[in-house]
Amino acid sequence: MFKILNAQFIAPGIKRFVIEAPRIARKQRPGQFVIIRVNETGERIPLTIEKSDPEKGTVNIVVQSIGKTTHLLNSLETGDSILDMVGPLGKPSEIEKFGTVVVMGGGVGTAMAYPTASAMKRAGNRVITIIGGRNKDLVLLESEMREVSDTVFVTTDDGSYADKGLVTDKLRQLIENGTRIDLVLAVGPIPMMRAVADMTRKERIKTMVSLNPIMIDGTGMCGGCRVLVEGKSEFACVDGPEFDAHRVDFAILVQRNAMYREAEKRSMENYQHEVEQKKTAAPAEDEVACALEGKK
Amino acid sequence: MSTPPTSKTPAKKSSNPIPNKERMKMPRQHMPEALPQVRNKQFTEVNLGYSAELARQEALRCIECAKPTCVTDCPVGVKVKDFVQLIVDGDYLGAAAKIREDNVLPAITGRVCPQEDHCEGGCLLNKKGQSLGIGYLERFVADYEQQHFDVSKIVKAAPTGKKVAIVGSGPSGLTAAGDLVTKGHKVHVFEALHEIGGVLVYGIPEFRLPKAIIRQQVDYMRAMGVEFETDVVVGRTITIDELMEEEGYDAVFIGTGAGLPQFMGISGEHLNGVYSANEFLTRINLMHAYEFPKYDEPMVDFRGKNVAVIGGGNTALDAIRSSLRLGAGKAFILYRRSEAEMPARIEEIKHAKEEGIEFQVLAAPLEFLDDGKGWLKGARCQKMELGEPDLSGRRRPVPLPGSEYEIPLAVAIMAIGTTANPIIQTTTPGLATTKKGYIQADDTTQKTSRRGVFAGGDIVTGGATVILAMGAGRRAAKSIHEFLASGEW
């Protein structure tokens, strides 16, 4: 059992958990992730590590409610426990002095990009960070990113905050302005990472993306997370999760991630139904608490 | 200092009243089985086990060879002749204790061992008919023990003060753990997944090895004093060096098992509907996907669909028989050699055929076909003929020119073996590996190139069987004990 020492919504539908996991906290490096299983009947899903504190033995994860498991997870509160959490998994990001590094975070991907941005800065790089979200509320970790970056650009799809547009618009501007870029790291939704890859390929800028395929064990045993990298099968859990963006077949990633769409929908509907039933049974005070916490 | 209690019965004259000549005429007792047309729709166990009466009848067939090959052919050296005699005597707990002197997982080996390759293979009864049902008898005794033996009676050995870390809770790790704890060492087993048992849990389906059986065998080991910790990926969560330097382990045994699943490298392997056997079986066995939506792990809908498993080993048969149980309309094995070369257990092949699995042998896929939406719709295959024997001693499949044909398929499961998992090798400096990336270990001592570090099972040999991994665990435990006692490497 892994105890939740703190749980707080940092944006609507996005919650940060501080979890007691001393072994993982000690070993976590930027770019790595964990796999969790909420309860006995739960599935195993990979999740982003925002940061960890080896002294306190805690690991922070940031979770966006998307399907049943993430909704269920985000219904947990301080003092609750997660049945299983294993990690840190995957290869750490390659951290060295590249020169100027552009770190791009889309939505909850920003949490995964944050420890790498921080490490890149410590390694002596000039770090330009571009983060974005659909709207103001979904721009995550802006102040944290400011602390570890030389420059931070923020975009929102709807213009409700900072610059209206996509993170890739900002990257294009940087390239067009003649900014020297030695490395781009992009973490976010697949369309965003693909767009970044297409943009930097022409410019021959080395670009890394952190992939999020379907995964079960996370140790290389099942092969479910295989991605096509220059025509060759690689496993995101042991060979990744970061890959050279210019070699990744994004279309296959999109296709494979949609494999269980029907079942995921059914799970979600069942879960919502259960939640509804519970609500009618006992009018919820936690709903109020949720609503209060829902805002930053 | 005896943990599990050893048999009180000393070697003695047989109590079997039947003359040897008569014994050889007695037929082998059939294993009671669930009906094929019932069991192929459910995941409950196929073999139902001998009753005490059947067990005695079968045990009476043993001709008590002076030099029993059943013992020497067993990778862990179970004293078959002795435990069978104890069954004849009606001393079932004594028989269980006798097995446990050499095998800590009798309820498991009694179910999944390829007995025909080991104990039953050299049985003299084969010459007159069928070998003694040693596996069935072992299973009977083990199940009897689980129901009747009080584990609180286990006397723990006097502590030696030495600590051993076991990496991986599969057959080799559990065996090493069991042998070491009886010597009084403190044994801690690390498992990467959330359940103890490794391949026994994620790889072997419920209908062949129920999870409850594994749990009982593990509980027995807990009662012996073995500690277990899940959710630890050694190499990631903690390294071998950290185990020894910071957590104070005097020795480490690496039994991390089969590695990354292999694919053929043909076109279309990334289509939705193409699985590795490891992923498919993990979804079914570890994650209970067959009980979706009660369990959250999903599986594609198999109902009424054509499903093929590529391969001819036990894993292939487990996968195809599971597919049938998920409701596959047509389930078949696609194997590039002939049935005679199949590495699967004979009993599994028999069971699979009874259940309605079709065997398309001497055939292999050349490419998987896309339905235009990213899902598998079929395979283009090629027929084979057998040529000269290859390195494995089996006749090599040779493609027949002009024999290509297409088959419609919704699901294809690749059960063609594994390659070495690199996590420990790449995080343990100085640990020597083979050309193929497996850990180098001595055949008899299981010692690796690192002092105090031993390895065995599939991470050393590549994919093999439960019992061969157990044999390696046993050898490792013996040499770990010697190392801990002498301090000499």
**Is A105:A19 a contact under the CB 8 Å cutoff?**
no
Q: Cβ(B437)–Cβ(B420) under 8 Å?
A: yes
Q: SS3 of A36, please?
A: strand
Q: How far is B66 from chain A (nearest CA, A)?
A: 45
Q: What is the mean pLDDT of residues A166-192?
A: 96
**Inter-chain residue contact B272 with A256, CB threshold 8 Å:** yes
Kind and range of the H or E run holding A151: strand A151-156
Mean pLDDT in residue range A109-131: 96
The answer to whether the Cα torsion of A228, A229, A232, A233 is positive or negative is negative
Task: State the greatest distance between any 2 C-alpha atoms of chain B, in Å, as a whole number.
Answer: 73
Partner-chain residue, chosen from B259, B300, B423, that has the shortest CB–CB distance to A259: B300
Chain A nearest C-alpha distance from B488 (Å): 31
CB pair distance less than 8 Å for A23 and B238? yes
Over residues A169-184, the mean pLDDT reads 96
What integer pLDDT is reported at residue A278 of this predicted model? 86
Average pLDDT estimate for A108-135: 96
The number of angstroms, rounded, from the C-alpha of B478 to the middle of its chain's C-alpha atoms is 21
Best residue of A73, A214, A222 to probe chain B, by most B CBs closer than 10 Å: A222
Tokens 């049902």 -> residue? B133
Residue ranges of chain B whose pLDDT lies below 50: 1-3, 9
What is the token pair recorded at B47?
Answer: 């073999």
- Measure A190 CA to nearest chain B CA, in Å: 17
Model confidence, pTM: 0.93
In this complex, which of B263, B275, B286 lies closest to A233 when CB atoms are compared? B263
Give the residue among B233, B236, B168, B175 at the shortest CA–CA distance from B196.
B168
**B440-450 core/surface letters (b: 16 or more CB in 10 A; e: else):** ebbeebbbbeb
Which chain A residue is nearest to residue B299, measuring alpha carbons?
A: A260
Q: How many CB pairs under 8 A join A and B?
A: 124
Chain A residues inside the 8 Å CB shell of B286: 216
The interface predicted TM-score of the complex, written ipTM, equals 0.92
Please determine, for residue A163, whether its predicted confidence score (pLDDT) is greater than 50: yes
Q: Which two tokens stand for residue B225?
A: 């004093």
Please name the residue of chain B whose CA is at the shortest distance from the CA of residue A264. Answer: B298
C-alpha–C-alpha distance, residues B200 and B295, integer Å: 20
> Residue A289: pLDDT above 80?
no
Interchain contact, B293 vs A226, CB within 8 Å:
no
Smallest CA–CA distance, residue B116 to chain A, in Å, is: 29
Residue whose C-alpha is closest to residue A167's, from A137, A133, A190, A143: A133
Alpha carbon distance B367, B376 (integer Å): 11
Angstroms from A31 CA to nearest CA on chain B: 13
B231 closest CB neighbour out of A84, A259, A263: A84
- Probe site for chain B from A35, A214, A219, A266 (most B CB atoms < 10 A): A219
Flag whether pLDDT at A284 surpasses 70: no
Cβ contact, residue pair B279, A256, below 8 Å:
no
Tokens matching residue B40: 């192929």
What gap in Å lies between CA B289 and CA B405, rounded to an integer? 33
Please state the φ and ψ torsions of residue B161, each to the nearest 5 degrees. Answer: 85, 0
Is the CB of A43 less than 8 angstroms away from the CB of B297?
yes
pLDDT bucket at A263, cuts 50 / 70 / 90: very high
Nearest by CB to B296, which of A68, A218, A223? A68
Separation CA B441–CA B453 (nearest Å): 9
Contact criterion met (CB < 8 Å) for A221 and B278: yes
Helical residues (DSSP H) of A123-242, grouped into ranges: 142-148, 167-176, 190-203
pLDDT tens track for A56-102: 999 999 999 999 999 999 999 999 999 999 999 999 999 999 999 99
Exposed e or buried b per residue across B344-373, where buried means at least 16 C-beta atoms within 10 angstroms of its C-beta: bbebbbebbeebebebebbbbbbbbbbeee
Residues A264-276, mean pLDDT to the nearest whole number: 93
> Can you tell me the distance from the alpha carbon of A18 to that of A61, in angstroms, rounded to the nearest whole number?
7
pLDDT given for residue B12 in this prediction: 58
**Which residue in A86, A258, A266 is closest to B293 by CB distance?**
A266
* Whole-number Å distance between alpha carbons of B404 and A3: 57
As a whole number of angstroms, the distance between CA B297 and CA A45 comes to: 10
Q: Is the pLDDT of residue A296 over 70?
A: no
Which member of A223, A249, A262 has the closest CB to residue B276? A223
B178: closest CA among B228, B234, B128? Answer: B228
d(CA B69, CA B294): 48
Give the DSSP H or E segment for A287: helix A285-293
d(CA B469, CA A60): 39
Q: Which of B260, B272, B296 sits opposite A41 (nearest CB)?
A: B296
Amino acid in the structure at residue B11: A
What is the radius of gyration, based on Cα positions, of chain B? Answer: 23
Q: Is A198 helix (H, G, I), strand (E, B) or coil?
A: helix
Query: B298, A255: Cβ pair inside 8 Å?
Result: no
What HEC string does chain B produce? CCCCCCCCCCCCCCCCCCCHHHHCCCCCCCCCECCHHHHCCCCCCCECCCCHHHHHHHHCCCCCCCCCHHHHCCCCCCCHHHHHHHHHCCCHHHHHHHHHCCCCCHHHHHHHCCHHHCCCCCCHHHHCCCCCCHHHHHHHHHHHHHHHCCHHHCCCCCCCCCEEEEECCCHHHHHHHHHHHCCCCEEEEECCCCCCCCHHHHCCCCCCCCHHHHHHHHHHHHHHCCEEECCCCECCCECHHHHHHCCCCCEEEECCCCCEECCCCCECCCCECEEEHHHHHHHHHCCCHHHCCCCCCCCCCCCCCEEEEECCCHHHHHHHHHHHHCCCCEEEEEECCCHHHCCCCHHHHHHHHHHCCEEEECEEEEEEEECCCCEEEEEEEEEEEEEEECCCCCEEEEECCCCCEEEECCEEEECCCEECCCHHHHHCCCCCECCCCCECCCCCCCECCCCCEEECCHHHHCCCCHHHHHHHHHHHHHHHHHHHHHCCC
CA atoms within 13 A on the CB side of A8: 7
Q: From the CA of A231, how many Å to the nearest CA of chain B? A: 9
Model pLDDT, residue B463: 87
**Distance of residue B351 Cα from the nearest chain A Cα, in angstroms:** 26
User: Quick check: A264 and B298 CB within 8 A?
Assistant: yes
- Token reading at B427: 């995080």
Phi, psi of B179 (to 5 degrees): -65, -40
Picking from A44, A50, A58, A67, the residue whose alpha carbon sits closest to that of residue A6 is A58
Residue whose C-alpha is closest to residue A48's, from A36, A60, A33: A33
